[in-house]
Structure 1
Amino acid sequence: MAETRSGQRDAYQLILEAIDIGIYKPGDRLVESELAERFGVSRTPIREALQRLETQSLLARDGRSLIVASLDHNQLAELYVVRTELEGLAARLAARHATEEEVRVLRGMVEEDRARLGDPGALARANRRFHKQIHLASHNRYLVQQLDLVHRSMALLATTSLAVEGRGEDALAEHDRIVSAIETGNGDAAYAALKAHISKAFETRLKHDSSAEAAE
């Protein structure tokens, strides 16, 4: 029984990560046998993981098949409202509770990410690590849990706003302001800087999606 539960968790994480990094995109069909072969896991934990992902609305039914779900405009807007507030709260708490070591890690991330400009995929992965580090630096386990749920849903976005020309440089400048506020222990400034950062990312995404639809 313990092995089954372990296999289910592993299968769930493997599929979730594959969606998160874009191996499977919204609309892609997920087949038990193919997933089992890809990940080297038996079909039973794969089936259980798929059921769990469907319950969490990360997968949707298309006839008898399961496909990666997609977010419509209203869902996207609702998600960003929640994300903005929770991320801002995490930054505020990080300004109060982050250790010196955690602050140095955040500062180091900003500096290291400059070398990733021009590689949207790498920058997007680094961006997720940066935000996760702020979540952890808040030292509030319940907030971290809620943000994990939000970021799980963010995996359903097929593209990253960091792929838009110039957005990478702007995002790093925004990260720098967030870390500076956390470094000085200014919770209000950290809250405002992170909310502005998420708002700008949402605005960039909306503009990009609107341009893409107009071109079709």
Structure 2
Amino acid sequence: MNATQKSSVDIIYEAIRERICLGVYASGDVLYEGELGKEFEVSRTPIRQVLQRLAHEKLAMVKVGVGTTVQDQPIEAQRQGLQIRSGIYHIIDDLSVTTMPQDIEASVAPLFYRISRLSAGAEREKFWGVLRDVHLLSASLIGDDVLQRTDDMLFYRTVPGLVRQSARFPDLATGLLKAEFDRLVDPIEQGDLRAFFRVRAETLLTFTALLDAE
């Protein structure tokens, strides 16, 4: 879906979701309908739809007498999310459930450049941006909408923890990201999508080291 096809609910949802991923809204923060309505210049109705969607995706939760608050995922749940996503990629590899977009080169070239330019200890905004775009690249190659939606949901449940940890351990975060993409370059250049997901299934689990870093 491109920007011209997105509804106001989609746009607001993605904006708030990104703030959650970046830690602008921390766990327990209340998302006030009135304040968000003023900021995005809409009525409470689309904001309420956004908050319901965030709650459905387990990025937020409704507390009686409080309102909708940002919901954090326990470390074990985040670790499990990475494991499930790895399993999804193994399924995609085993069943060859892939699709090749026509503009794949246009997507990969700037992403490869950005990752190659990442310095050790890159700030979390850059880490988040690349992590998100690698995810979007993977999503564009999945040929089954159920697997794609499940992977997407789990990505946004686990990524706030990774981004938060990247601010504490920037060298580790940057190293993991660059090491992953270094292994993905050959499958992408060869057009071997099964190998791409085989590699992603393995490298995704390396990010548990970031979750577990103390």
Specify if TM > 0.5. yes
- TM-score, scaled relative to structure 2: 0.77
User: Structure 1 136/91 Cα, relative in aligned 2: closer, same or farther at 3 Å?
Assistant: farther
User: Structure 1 55/194 Cα, relative in aligned 2: closer, same or farther at 3 Å?
Assistant: closer
**Percent of aligned pairs sharing the same letter:** 21
- Secondary structure of the 1:60 match is strand
Q: Deviations over 1:156-184 (max 9, x none)?
A: 43734544224313421321212312333
Contact 2:88-2:147 at 8 Å conserved across structures: yes
Which of 127, 145, 149 does residue 153 from structure 2 map onto?
Answer: 149
Contact 2:116-2:178 at 8 Å conserved across structures: yes
Q: Deviations over 1:97-151 (max 9, x none)?
A: 4357415632541232222322332122122112211220233333222222222
Whichever residue aligns with residue 114 of structure 1, its letter is: S
Which of 198, 201, 208 does residue 202 from structure 1 map onto?
Answer: 208
The structure whose Rg is larger is 1
Q: Which moved more, 1:77-86 or 1:183-192?
A: 183-192
Whichever residue aligns with residue 72 of structure 2, its letter is: S
Contact 1:61-1:67 at 8 Å conserved across structures: yes
Confirm or deny that 1:167 pairs with 2:173: yes
- Secondary structure of the 2:161 match is coil
Confirm or deny that 1:111 pairs with 2:93: no
What's the counterpart of residue 27 of structure 1?
Answer: 28
Distance 1:91 1:131 in 2: 16
Instruction: List runs of 5+ in structure 2 lacking aligned partners.
Output: 1-6
User: Structure 1 167/153 Cα, relative in aligned 2: closer, same or farther at 3 Å?
Assistant: closer
Confirm or deny that 1:191 pairs with 2:197: yes
What's the counterpart of residue 47 of structure 1?
Answer: 48
Instruction: List runs of 5+ in structure 1 lacking aligned partners.
Output: 1-5, 212-216
Distance 1:81 1:89 in 2: 13
**Alignment size in residue pairs:** 204
Confirm or deny that 1:129 pairs with 2:133: yes
- Secondary structure of the 1:116 match is coil
State the Cα RMSD in Å: 3.1
User: Structure 1 100/158 Cα, relative in aligned 2: closer, same or farther at 3 Å?
Assistant: closer
User: Structure 1 30/119 Cα, relative in aligned 2: closer, same or farther at 3 Å?
Assistant: same
Contact 1:107-1:179 at 8 Å conserved across structures: no
Contact 1:90-1:134 at 8 Å conserved across structures: no
What's the counterpart of residue 79 of structure 2?
Answer: 77
What's the counterpart of residue 179 of structure 1?
Answer: 185
Contact 1:36-1:43 at 8 Å conserved across structures: yes
- Secondary structure of the 1:71 match is coil
Whichever residue aligns with residue 82 of structure 2, its letter is: Y
